[in-house]
């Protein structure tokens, strides 16, 4: 039987899996894999904390996965295609799969910001990073390798 847990008591992961060349651009953030605590497979739910000057990651979009973002606290700037939007506590937005419009959340304030992101976990999904020479390559053994768009590993 599943029992409730407090999301903020889950150990957060602050290790940035992206190549070091992108760390300065991304800044400091950490996430807690909420859905993983319950061994859910069809969708992922992460609670993310973005420090001042940090971001949710590199601007990207997904080929197969839809995403939904809900701002819990603080203020974040959503970079979405060529547009930008100021989001604050209670704001939300969804991103359709294969839309071809990259998105990224940036904390341009002097306080941490918290948001929840929910996304589908389709087997053949790829994240596309239009603005950066980056892609995740999935090897035959299932390992993800940080690579340039040419396929050359970082």
Beta-strand relationship, 144-147 and 92-95: unpaired
CA distances from 67 to 9, 74, 89, 97, 119 (A): 24, 20, 18, 8, 4
Report the pLDDT value the prediction gives residue 16, as an integer from 0 to 100.
85
Q: Is it the case that residue 1 has pLDDT exceeding 90? A: no
Name the pTM for this structure.
0.91
Architecture (CATH level 2) of domain 12-122+131-147 = Sandwich (2.60)
Domain borders along the chain are 12-122+131-147
d(CA 105, CA 54): 9
- Asked whether the predicted pLDDT for residue 140 surpasses 90, the reply is no
| pLDDT exceeds cutoff 80 at 91 | yes
* Cα distances (angstroms) measured from residue 60 to each of 20, 95, 109: 18, 11, 22
Cα–Cα dist 119/62, whole Å: 10
């Amino acid at each position: 039987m599943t029992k409730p847990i407090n999301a903020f008591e889950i150990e957060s992961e602050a290790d940035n899996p992206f190549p070091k060349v992108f760390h300065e651009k991304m800044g400091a953030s950490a996430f807690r894999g909420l859905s993983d605590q319950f061994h859910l497979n069809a969708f992922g739910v992460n609670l993310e904390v973005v420090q001042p000057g940090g971001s949710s990651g590199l601007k990207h979009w997904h080929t197969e996965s839809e995403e939904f973002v809900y701002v819990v606290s603080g203020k974040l700037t959503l970079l979405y295609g060529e547009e930008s939007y100021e989001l604050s506590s209670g704001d939300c937005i969804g991103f359709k799969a294969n839309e071809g419009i990259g998105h990224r959340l940036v904390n341009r304030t002097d306080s941490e910001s918290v948001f929840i992101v929910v996304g589908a976990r389709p087997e053949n999904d790829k994240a596309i990073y239009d603005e950066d020479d980056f892609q995740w390559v999935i090897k035959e053994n299932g390992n993800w390798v940080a690579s340039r768009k040419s396929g050359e590993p970082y």
